[in-house]
Amino acid sequence: MVDSPPSTQISAGEWKLPDVSYVDPARVACEFCGRPIPRRYWSAEIDGTRRSFCDPSHAQLYVEYWIPTWGKNISSESDSTEPRTRSR
């Protein structure tokens, strides 16, 4: 959606299928969109940090949209930050 910084590096990634326990219902949230992931998630390393996503397309959007818009140091999963610019 917007151009990614040229320095961003993304690994190939892999699907992960964690065990789900009915005793501990905690779930992974996608670090791009914030959606709680029921079970299988996409794990990719971006600039040396391993992150969890709904699927590969959200890993790509994390690079193409999230980082240019909000910066590298936060994710949707970790913060609710202020926009850099805003108008109504």
Partner 1 sequence: MNTVTHSNKLDPVTLTVIDNFLTSTCRDMGVSMMKTSYSPIFNESLDFSCVIFDPEGQMLAQAEFCPSQIGTIKFTVNWTLEELGLEAFEPGDVLIHDDPYRGSGHVPEHMMLKPVFYRNEIVAFVANVAHMSEPGAKTPGGLSGDATEVFQEGLLLPPVKIKRRGEDVPDIWKIILANHRTPKVTYGDFRAMIGSLDLAEARVIELFDTYGEETVRDATTELLEIAERRMKAEIASIPNGVYYFEDSIEDDGISDTAYPMKLRLTVRDTDIIADFTGSAPQAAGPVNAIYAVTASAVYNAFLHLTDPSIPRNEGCYRPFTIIAPPGTIVNCSFPAPVAGGNTETSPRITDMVFGALQDAIPDRVVAACGGTSSPFLFGGTDPRSGDLYAHFHFEGVGWGGRKGQDGNDMVVTINGNCRNTPVEVFETRYPAFLIEEYRLVADSGGPGQWRGGLGGERILTVINDVTVSALLNRMKTDPWGVLGGDDGQRGGIWIKLEGMSDWRTFVDVFGTRSPSKFSGITLHAGDQVKLVMPGGGGYGPVAEREVSLVERDIENGFISLERASIDYGYEPSDGERQHG
Interaction site with partner 1 (CB under 8 A): 1-2, 20, 22, 25, 29, 32-36, 38-40, 58, 61, 65-66, 69-70, 76-77, 79-83, 86-88
Kindly state the smallest distance separating residue 27's Cβ from partner 1, in Å.
Answer: 8
Residue 9 vs 84, nearer CB to partner 1: 84
8 A C-beta contact, residue 64 and residue 3: yes
The identity of residue 38, as a single letter, is P
Taking the C-alpha atoms of residue 43 and residue 39, their distance in angstroms, rounded to an integer, is: 12
Residue 6 vs 86, nearer CB to partner 1: 86
**Triad 23, 31, 17: Cα angle to 5°:** 45
